[in-house]
Structure 1
Amino acid sequence: MAITEHKDIEKGDNKGLEDLVEPLIDEDGSKDCKETDHNGSISMVLLSTAVAVCRSLEFGSCVGYSAPVQSDISIDLNLSVAEFSLFGSIVTIGAITSGRIADTIGRKGAMALSAVFCIAGWLAIFSSMGSLLLDSGRFFTGYGIGIFSFVVPIYIAEIAPKNLRLTTLNQLMSVTGSSISFLLGTVVSWRTLALTGLVPCILLLVGLLFIPESPRWLAKVGREAEFERSLRKLRGAKADIFAEADEIHETILTLQSLPRARLLDLFNAKYIKPVMIAVGLMVCQQSGGINGIGFYASETFQTAGLSSGKAGTIAYALIQIPVTMIGVVLMDKSGRRALLMVSSSGTFLGCFLAGTLFFFKGQAIFLEWVPLLAVSGVLVFIALFSIRMGAVPWLIMSEIFPLHIKGAAGSLAVLVNWFGAWTVSYSFNFLINWSPAGTFSSPSLWFSG
């Protein structure tokens, strides 16, 4: 599942209704926001961010769980390919109600609820003796991280001063969580690995006791006294918060005055081009097969001819973190389009290499080289995808829509993305059993297009 990055559409200068209905992008493509210096300490902002990104570790633990344990779970619980595919893919259904939950019970409330769902899910997986409880646990963890994936980036964006960018930390920690799960899965049992997923949830629940609610959400629901206390706690006891408080109120009032768009409004002639761009990027991102490769990496490496998938899984885990850091650095320096083209070209190369080598294996050609080179192709795919193919589509989507239709457009993009994630993650095991070469050739055609 590709990791989603959300931008705070409520942060930025207020220019009046006529400007707010246009995308908040200036001529060089950056967001139109004015940096504000805050007196006082940012220690509470950093603490709140550290607590929130425990969610990112949990997200990574959940999406990385199925890859190293596929063989052991299938043997211990006597699962068929179809049963394990359902278990692996059911995690992708959790983002549907996340926005409404975050707006109803607040950012902290949504994070706490998510942690409870994830804890229940991991305990169910740990104690499962058959597919029913196993799938129920995976469903609960998927629902939990679906809410997490929406609310945490928004919370981080809403508490941070404009001159402090922390949203990239969210994705980096998600990848770190996935890599940790991959590595631990090679040395501990699948039940023990499920218990390790509890750790980020417990840290999050404890941390929520010490951090403030999002001041923007408090202002939006009219809790003025709590809004001022939260903002002062985040900016420091001696900080002048009145200018920022006025700006937040003005932004909320202006946003509330904008017309509320429906999904049908997206098909208006003046919006159809950005809609096609956003949906097209999501389709291409998911059709590349990232969730199938990521969810079942260990089994893929064994199919390539490795005696055990552990070595490939360890390499997968170790390569994700540094290349994601490279992508974070390059995001604003190289431009969205250039980075997207480099990343998609590299993923095409990785799929093409893996598909070709799987074809050679089927024809009994270069058998001594097939395992190493096929695994290399998969690792090239992962490395270049991590550089930004996973994040850039979400970032582009956040920048190309006017504010008054951004909610409807985001809902459509999330629906397309998560449906694609489920389709790929459910069908991948069947496809690779049918034709490994064909499985990797299809994504290469998407990326080359």
Structure 2
Amino acid sequence: MFVSVRELKMSSFDPENHSTPSPTAEKLIQYLATLSATLAAVTAGNYLGWSSPALPLYNQKDTLTLVDDEQSWVGSLLPLGALVGAIPAGWIADKVGRKKAILMIGVPYLICWFIIGFAPSPLWLFVARFFAGAAIGATTVVVPLYVSEIAEPAIRGTLGALFQLQITIGISLGYLTGLIKNLKWIAVTSALTPAALLLVFLFMPETPVWLIGQDRRDDAERAMERLRGKSYPFPQELAQLESNRKSQRMQKASFAELKNHKRAVLISFGLMILQQLSGINAVIFYAEELFKAEGSALSPTACTGIMGVAQVFATCVSMLLIDKAGRRILLMTSSSVMGLCLIAVALHFYFQSGVQSTGIPWAPLIFLTIYVIMFAIGFGPVPWIMVNEVSPTNVVGTIGSAAAMLNWSLAFAVTKIFINMKLVIGLPLSFGMFALICLTGTIFIAAIIPETKGKTREEIQMKLHRIRKMETKNDTVANDQTTL
């Protein structure tokens, strides 16, 4: 049901009188819960990186025979599965809870590794990749939601950035498993991560936000005390969550409900569109081919390895900056620099394809590496964080699912279309189009995206509805006088 601006005002506390959470609040359990939940993200990255070292091992002795078309399906079924898995993920998380939903995701993750490792036919391999993709799609919805709801505002951005970091670590691990040179042992080794997820995350708390939504006040209090520590003034935070729940009239939310939260939807969908149409998947998936086709100072494998390592370190930098610099400035810096890098790459490919081949050999490596670094700092982690920060509690699962569906649809489209773009309009114009989208994104962010750093959910909703502090205070006083 739509929450009017008047209702939001009446339920809001005065931010000027809101006591700041105790700086001595215990944060260890919040980090441990986030690290254990994001083991699902490590597994997702592992599945994404697996195809690079594993596909060349097929068509050998004691392995399956895969023709080129079958190998392409092995790769493309993952984003298709992710699209399907994202659809019910938010609804399931609202029904059974965030914790149970993440544990449910771990089961197909674990089973699919063994099917992949011991698949008797290509059909079994296809099925496993599809269901693993479905688990990845659900992961991108539920895990950021869980992290957002357990984290106190002061470290919410840092914990949220762990999701993207764990994905990049998982991709790197996927590349490293190729050193084993045995498909069965690659699968068994990779299965250790979802096994650890199921074992460790079982002992983590449910989110107080979901428990309050289920009228489980005592359970929410115990979860909050465990997450924040006994010295933290969590009764005040719980009272605020209960106030939010009443004002938002918690109920089963459908996709039709999204029309009542237009600004949250615009921000969430806009960031997902910009993230995928920035060309990141075209660069990541076809990096070796790009370096091989257009020439570079190092071997394609070395260039791709440098980009992968740079992405991991850049995500670590994002974790340090996101709660200090803020989400908005990271997004604007990321989109601007990415756009400029893509322009430089487009110019290199343009001159490289000329008669005199005047391109600079180091240009692809330098500018694509900077591009990937800036993506990891801003456009990679921040959109997933902001989807859960700007969405009201009663529709956060629905908006998260819809945003993930959009994200994976565009990921599949860009991955599939890029090869045709390269053949039809050429690399210079293809990267020029991606650059234009990135620079347009800077304008969108400057005009639409609010800063959510260090703000509570209620303060963010007040800002989205453009409710001024004085307005809220005056309405509260007027209401008190009327009551008297």
TM-score category, normalised to shorter length: 0.7 to 0.9
* Alpha carbons of structure 1 residues 406 and 238: separation in structure 2 relative to 1, 3 Å: closer
Q: Residues 51 and 75 of structure 2 are in contact (CA less than 8 Å); yes or no, is this contact kept in structure 1?
A: no
Aligned residue number for residue 40 of structure 2: 55
1:217 to 210, 215, 220: 210
* Alpha carbons of structure 1 residues 180 and 364: separation in structure 2 relative to 1, 3 Å: farther
What residue identity is the alignment partner of 2:308?
A: A
1:79 to 61, 68, 85: 68
Q: Once the 2 structures are TM-superposed, how far is the Cα of residue 419 of structure 1 from its aligned partner?
A: 1.4
What residue identity is the alignment partner of 1:348?
A: G
* Alpha carbons of structure 1 residues 170 and 401: separation in structure 2 relative to 1, 3 Å: closer
Q: State the alpha-carbon separation in 2 of the partners of residues 128 and 380 from structure 1.
A: 39
Q: Once the 2 structures are TM-superposed, how far is the Cα of residue 294 of structure 1 from its aligned partner?
A: 2.1
2:315 is aligned with 1:324: yes
2:403 is aligned with 1:413: yes
User: What does 1:22-421 correspond to in 2, within 5 Å?
Assistant: 35-37=20-22, 42-69=27-54, 71-72=56-57, 77-80=66-69, 82-87=72-77, 89-93=79-83, 94-128=85-119, 131-165=122-156, 166-185=159-178, 188=181, 192-223=185-216, 226-236=219-229, 242-255=235-248, 257=249, 263=255, 275-305=265-295, 309-363=300-354, 365-366=356-357, 369-370=360-361, 372-397=362-387, 409-421=399-411
What residue identity is the alignment partner of 1:220?
A: G
Unmatched 5+ residue regions in structure 1?
Answer: 1-14
Aligned residues: 426
Q: Residues 8 and 247 of structure 2 are in contact (CA less than 8 Å); yes or no, is this contact kept in structure 1?
A: no
Deviates more, 1:56-65 or 1:312-321: 56-65
* Alpha carbons of structure 1 residues 109 and 337: separation in structure 2 relative to 1, 3 Å: closer
Q: State the alpha-carbon separation in 2 of the partners of residues 154 and 47 from structure 1.
A: 16
Q: State the alpha-carbon separation in 2 of the partners of residues 401 and 412 from structure 1.
A: 12
Q: Once the 2 structures are TM-superposed, how far is the Cα of residue 397 of structure 1 from its aligned partner?
A: 4.9
Spell out, residue by residue over 1:218-246, the C-alpha distance to the aligned partner (whole angstroms, 9 max, x if none): 34334455445444444557877655544
Q: State the alpha-carbon separation in 2 of the partners of residues 125 and 88 from structure 1.
A: 13
Q: State the alpha-carbon separation in 2 of the partners of residues 21 and 192 from structure 1.
A: 56
Q: State the alpha-carbon separation in 2 of the partners of residues 433 and 196 from structure 1.
A: 39
Spell out, residue by residue over 1:186-205, the C-alpha distance to the aligned partner (whole angstroms, 9 max, x if none): 67455544444322211111
Q: Residues 85 and 425 of structure 1 are in contact (CA less than 8 Å); yes or no, is this contact kept in structure 2?
A: no
Spell out, residue by residue over 1:68-97, the C-alpha distance to the aligned partner (whole angstroms, 9 max, x if none): 545555886222375355245435323111
* Alpha carbons of structure 1 residues 226 and 408: separation in structure 2 relative to 1, 3 Å: closer
The TM-score, its normalising length taken from structure 2, stands at: 0.73
Deviates more, 1:86-95 or 1:286-295: 86-95
Q: Residues 76 and 412 of structure 2 are in contact (CA less than 8 Å); yes or no, is this contact kept in structure 1?
A: no
Q: State the alpha-carbon separation in 2 of the partners of residues 367 and 131 from structure 1.
A: 45
Spell out, residue by residue over 1:363-408, the C-alpha distance to the aligned partner (whole angstroms, 9 max, x if none): 46438954x4333333232122112022344455556666666665
Tell me the C-alpha RMSD between the 2 structures: 3.9
Q: State the alpha-carbon separation in 1 of the partners of residues 294 and 97 from structure 2.
A: 47
Q: Residues 168 and 311 of structure 2 are in contact (CA less than 8 Å); yes or no, is this contact kept in structure 1?
A: yes
Q: State the alpha-carbon separation in 1 of the partners of residues 26 and 267 from structure 2.
A: 41
Q: Alignment partner of 1:212: what SS?
A: coil
* Alpha carbons of structure 1 residues 440 and 20: separation in structure 2 relative to 1, 3 Å: farther
* Alpha carbons of structure 1 residues 202 and 127: separation in structure 2 relative to 1, 3 Å: same
Percent identity between matched residues is 29
Q: Once the 2 structures are TM-superposed, how far is the Cα of residue 103 of structure 1 from its aligned partner?
A: 1.9
Spell out, residue by residue over 1:277-306, the C-alpha distance to the aligned partner (whole angstroms, 9 max, x if none): 543433232112212322343344333447
Q: Residues 44 and 136 of structure 2 are in contact (CA less than 8 Å); yes or no, is this contact kept in structure 1?
A: yes
Spell out, residue by residue over 1:327-377, the C-alpha distance to the aligned partner (whole angstroms, 9 max, x if none): 33333544544433321232223333333434445446438954x433333
Q: Alignment partner of 2:68: what SS?
A: coil
Q: State the alpha-carbon separation in 2 of the partners of residues 218 and 178 from structure 1.
A: 34
Bigger CA radius of gyration: 2
Q: Once the 2 structures are TM-superposed, how far is the Cα of residue 46 of structure 1 from its aligned partner?
A: 3.5
What residue identity is the alignment partner of 2:128?
A: G
Q: Residues 288 and 304 of structure 2 are in contact (CA less than 8 Å); yes or no, is this contact kept in structure 1?
A: yes
Q: State the alpha-carbon separation in 1 of the partners of residues 199 and 264 from structure 2.
A: 42
Q: State the alpha-carbon separation in 2 of the partners of residues 25 and 381 from structure 1.
A: 42
Q: Residues 60 and 175 of structure 1 are in contact (CA less than 8 Å); yes or no, is this contact kept in structure 2?
A: yes
What residue identity is the alignment partner of 1:214?
A: T
Q: Residues 208 and 220 of structure 2 are in contact (CA less than 8 Å); yes or no, is this contact kept in structure 1?
A: yes
What residue identity is the alignment partner of 1:442?
A: M
Q: State the alpha-carbon separation in 2 of the partners of residues 436 and 135 from structure 1.
A: 31
Spell out, residue by residue over 1:35-60, the C-alpha distance to the aligned partner (whole angstroms, 9 max, x if none): 33398855443432332222232232
Unmatched 5+ residue regions in structure 2?
Answer: 441-484
Aligned residue number for residue 6 of structure 1: none
What residue identity is the alignment partner of 1:159?
A: I
Spell out, residue by residue over 1:246-295, the C-alpha distance to the aligned partner (whole angstroms, 9 max, x if none): 4444433333x268776556557xx6566555434332321122123223
Q: State the alpha-carbon separation in 1 of the partners of residues 57 and 176 from structure 2.
A: 15
Aligned residue number for residue 19 of structure 1: 9
Deviates more, 1:57-66 or 1:392-401: 392-401
What residue identity is the alignment partner of 1:389?
A: F
Q: State the alpha-carbon separation in 2 of the partners of residues 235 and 406 from structure 1.
A: 23
Aligned residue number for residue 413 of structure 2: 423
Deviates more, 1:258-267 or 1:300-309: 258-267
* Alpha carbons of structure 1 residues 33 and 128: separation in structure 2 relative to 1, 3 Å: farther
Q: Once the 2 structures are TM-superposed, how far is the Cα of residue 320 of structure 1 from its aligned partner?
A: 0.6
* Alpha carbons of structure 1 residues 321 and 40: separation in structure 2 relative to 1, 3 Å: closer
Q: Residues 314 and 373 of structure 2 are in contact (CA less than 8 Å); yes or no, is this contact kept in structure 1?
A: yes
Q: State the alpha-carbon separation in 1 of the partners of residues 14 and 292 from structure 2.
A: 47
